[in-house]
Structure 1
Amino acid sequence: MLKIGYARLGDEQLGDEHLEQQLAELERLGCQVIRTEEAYVDGAPAPVLAAILDFIAEGDQLIVTRLEHLATTSRQLLDVVARLQARGASLYVSDADLSTEGDGGRALRAVLEAVGQLEPTNGARRRRSGAEAHEIRALRRAGVGPVEIARRLGVSRMTVWRKLREMESEARA
């Protein structure tokens, strides 16, 4: 079994001291290979971690000092765990004494999946910045209520009400 250490200087840490602490901890845990990576922008791929996940073999173990060094969201973390599992490898987090092996690993994955369900997906419905008055007017003339107009146009009900009031004011003037 190859122990692969992964150290990342996170956004919240300052200076090289934290990275040096991670490296010392990974060496103490017996990592034969240690790779480091600078902080990456949220959502951007971490190239060193991606290379490890492509390289890691069955029976190997990826070791990190803190869980947040692997991902910025639960969904990304689940992806890392799934990729490790698909390759027959495991994960060990030293600060929390967590592992994806055995019963504890199944519990960890279950918790991560539950938390991941609470996070919005990248494809989550996003509201439009505003609806055109003519769209609202046309739907209202067709007998569609304000709540349904808001749903169809992907705007808030308040936006629809505000536009309807503006149109009424303009009609009176």
Structure 2
Amino acid sequence: MAVYGYARVSTTDQDLSLQEEALRAAGCEVIRSEKRSGTSTEGRTELQTLMDFARKGDTIVVTRIDRLARSIADLAILVRQLEAKGVALKATEQPIDTSTAAGRCFLQMLGVFAEFETNLRRERQLEGIAKAKAAGVYAGKGRPASVPAEKVRELHATGMGPSAIAKELGISRMSVHRALNPKAA
């Protein structure tokens, strides 16, 4: 009967060390960590490895349930898979222990709140985008083009070569080629 830990943060600039330290203190023999969004289980290879590797009588530990899943559907699927294998799930910062009825109940309540929080965040983001669009400051996805394509074409039409255009405008030769042939980019 092994105790495994799972740590996750959403972005590459976030730090996993506090979660890993808490999992070691909880007795985890192996800790799988990854930097991936929790809104889906897709592409979370460390979680999948842990799910595949855990056996009957093992325990998987997370610091908080939102490290495991942010949607009630994903959480339910993961918990069902673990229960079918006879693997318990525990959280160090929450009273979750799927080997008890109270722990399973609390897990389901927290899963609902984690999904609610994700949905609120999405609504706030969409409201912010709508407000920015109304103010005329939201141009859509991506940053504006930094290469003056029209100027590149004008200089090229005068007979100037890509290297000279690049030097004149302070851009790379590759940017000049992209501006001259946008379909190839």
CA distance in 1, matches of 2:56, 2:38: 30
Which residue in the other structure is 1:75 paired with?
A: 73
- 1:36-73 deviation digits (Å, cap 9, x = unpaired): 11123733331110111111000000000011111120
**Larger deviation: 24-33 or 36-45?**
36-45
Following superposition, the deviation at residue 29 of structure 1 comes to 0.6
Identity %: 32
Query: Conserved in 2, the CA contact under 8 Å of 1:78 and 1:112?
Result: no
Matching residue within 96, 101, 104 for 1:103: 101
Unpaired segments of 5 or more residues in structure 2?
117-185
1:24-63 → structure 2 map (5 Å cutoff): 24-40=21-37, 42-43=39-40, 44-63=42-61
Report what 1:132 is aligned to.
Answer: none
Assess if the C-alpha contact under 8 Å between 2:60 and 2:90 holds in 1. Answer: yes
Q: Is the CA contact 1:100–1:108 (under 8 Å) kept in the aligned structure 2? A: no
The match for 1:20 among 17, 25, 29 is 17
In the other structure, the counterpart of 1:138 is none
Q: Go from structure 1 to structure 2 and tell me whether the alpha carbon gap of 1:106 and 1:97 turns closer, same or farther (over 3 Å shift).
A: closer
TM-score, length of structure 2 as denominator length: 0.54
Structure 1: runs of 5+ lacking an equivalent: 120-173
Superposition TM-score, scaled by structure 1 size:
0.58
